[in-house]
Chain A
Amino acid sequence: MDALLLVAAVTLYAAGVGLAARAFARHDRRMHRAALAVLAGGAAVNLAAWLLPGVREARLPLADLRELLTGLAWLIVSLHVGIALRAGLEAMSLIVPPFATVLLLGASGLSTPVQSRPAGGPLFVAHTVTATAGLAALGLAFTMSVVYLLQDRVLKRKRSFGLLERLPSLDTSDRIGFQALAWGFGLLTAAIVTGVLWNAIAHGRLWSARPKESFPLLAWIVLSALLYARLARGYRGRRCAYLVIVGFVFALASVVGIAR
């Protein structure tokens, strides 16, 4: 049943992306809205696939990598649908949902049985929720940085934009990316603090050198340096985009570390 739901969500996402591609090629705004509706339907199924096992077993649905990726995919697509409904950004429907679809496909490929975990109470809930939401926000910032770098490259090389033509401008991708980064950083900080406290309570130690504990710290260092440069010095542009990508990769690596 859960696997079926995942397959249904992936199928709906794929259909939504296909429709969005058609809308993009035909410059059809209404069709793009239809694509967003299909993506929203996919997100609803994705949400069900994510929450049902937890509801059945009366636990938080973030017990393993499969559940985390499923939740992350849902968050990313929901965020995208919400933003795209207000801001248009047709081209982004060809980038963000496919990314989430890959996450979901990854999740459906994993069949990790739910491991029994020490009950963490509210602290564990806070940790997993902030970590997942933070990762989703950083995922959006990452996407915007990729969009920024692609366009920077085209502008510098003075090439034809081709299909990149309707991506949001450098300024817009920078702005949305920065907002997502600010949220992502705040949530990541909260996730690290709650994670450390939970660790202390559950395992009696604050920190260990395991990947899932060291990568978030690396991500936090990179992103805090970036935010300092941006907020205090106003720095932006290509190098900032690279740093966002590095920060996100570290943050993602910590998720992969969960499976270990």
Chain B
Amino acid sequence: MILLLGVSHRTAPVQLRERLALPERDVPQVLPRLRGAAAAREAWLLSTCNRVEVLLDTEETDAAAASLVAFFCRERGLSPAELEASLYRHEGPDAVRHLLRVASGLDSMILGEPQILGQVKRAHHLAREAGTLGPVLERLLQRCLAVAKRVRAETGISRHALSVAHAAVELARKVVGELAGQSVLVVGAGKMSALTARYLAGAGAQLVVTSRRYEKAEALAARFGGRAVAWNEFDRWLARACAVISGTAAPGIVLDAARVAAAMRERHQRPLFLVDVAVPRDVDPEVHRIENVYLYDIDDLEGVVARNLDQRRLAASQALPILEEEVARFEHWRRSLQVTPTIVRLREVWLERARAELQRQRRRLGPLDDAQATQLEQLVSAIVRKMLHRPTEYLRRRGEQTDAAGLVALYREIFELDAAGPDAAETGVSALPSEKDEPR
């Protein structure tokens, strides 16, 4: 049974999360001890600033959960009550669903943020390094990464900008296309200008920074590899840049409609995207009325962000069927694991018994040459296989559909699988259905 225990930004304050969080370098040492403490077959751990989660494959979920709590309390000096108050626990399909939600960014503080996928991938590598993954969690994590990518591609959940600065850059792209290599004029060197400049520089734009105080412009330009220009060059760059971001601390309008209209004439009406991130505003709102000029102030951008959040919520709801499909597929695969060892054993034991019976009867059959002996052995094996075909198929089918523990016990009793000699082959991991056998 898969067991997931964790704390996240939804359940635990940062004071608790930071005490539980593990630095990456410690994970390979901690994981084997943690697996041992919980007496689990497989273990995986995710530790980010927003969540610490442990995933186990274990027989005894209650005992494993208790041991895990004790382990963390001991290691991190916490009281069980303190930890348990913030701890969530998921088992079986719920644990799978939760993990898929986490990896797809649906459980993140910023809905749909893509960093979590990289963190899950990294945690996967660390657990592999530590050797605490087995076939079940290995497969689960691989599916998890694939599903998270699919969610992102199909719902576009990460596409809609959720910060004012990011939204401004996305809108600029709608006007001027790719920003790489294009000049963007940044007016003022305040905090909001700097934040927007960072996104613009990230998109490859050439920043041209101007400020009433040249040294401030120089400092901001130096941070993002742009160039600083004197305040009196403002109009020249207004006519040349593809977009303008204005965020000065001026108490009134810095850029009026007449100046923008003049710049538009000089630009031969080439579209101009203006972002006013200043409060009080730098750019006269009348500027937006000028043809081919698009002015967005901080309220407009916040409106865009609010709409984008709605878009992400919509995308999250579109992701749910994708997750459910994967939960069902994984459960299907995992259930088939319960019956596979029995199926393998059933065939081996009865083939062995048939061969033994054949050996006993050989004397009565009189002298046989090698070819006849081989043929007889093949015949007996074929009969056994044919007889076992229906019961095997039935068990496999039921195993995929429901919890088949009772049926497995019944089979073992009817077919005397446990009474068979000690020479009957051990079954285990090697008997797990491979990717190719996976029911689709």
Using CB atoms and an 8 Å cutoff, list the residues of chain A in contact with chain B. 26-28, 151-152, 155-156, 158, 160-161, 168-172, 174, 233-240
Contacts and interface: CB of A to CB of B under 8 A. Distances in A.
B288 interface: yes
Interface residues of B: mostly helix, strand, loop or mixed?
helix
Contact of A169 (B174, B292, B296): B174
B175 interface: yes
Given A28-B154, A238-B291, A238-B292, A151 B268 contact: no
Nearest to A159: B307
Contact of B268 (A26, A155, A235): A235
Given A156-B288, A158-B300, A169 B269 contact: no
Contacts of A174: 271
Contacts of B242: 171
10 contacts: A27-B154, A28-B153, A151-B174, A155-B174, A160-B304, A171-B176, A234-B268, A235-B269, A239-B269, A239-B291
A172 B307 contact: no
A234 B173 contact: no
Interface of B: 153-156, 171, 173-177, 242, 268-271, 288, 291-292, 294, 296, 300, 303-304, 307, 311
Nearest to B271: A170
A160 B307 contact: yes
A9 to B, nearest CB: 31
B405 to A, nearest CB: 40
Contacts of A234: 268-270
A170 B269 contact: no
Contacts of B269: 234-237, 239-240
B156 A236 contact: no
Contacts of A26: 153-154
Contacts of B171: 155
Contact of A237 (B173, B177, B270, B303): B270
Contact of B173 (A27, A169, A239, A240): A169
A179 to B, nearest CB: 14
A171 B175 contact: yes
Interface-central residue, B174, B175, B300, by most chain A CB under 10 Å: B174
Contacts of B307: 160
B174 A158 contact: no
Contacts of B270: 234, 236-237
Given A156-B294, A237-B270, A238-B292, A170 B153 contact: no
Interface-central residue, A28, A151, A169, A233, by most chain B CB under 10 Å: A169
Given A151-B174, A155-B174, A235-B269, 13 more contacts: A27-B153, A27-B155, A156-B288, A158-B296, A160-B304, A170-B175, A170-B176, A170-B177, A170-B271, A236-B269, A237-B270, A238-B291, A238-B292
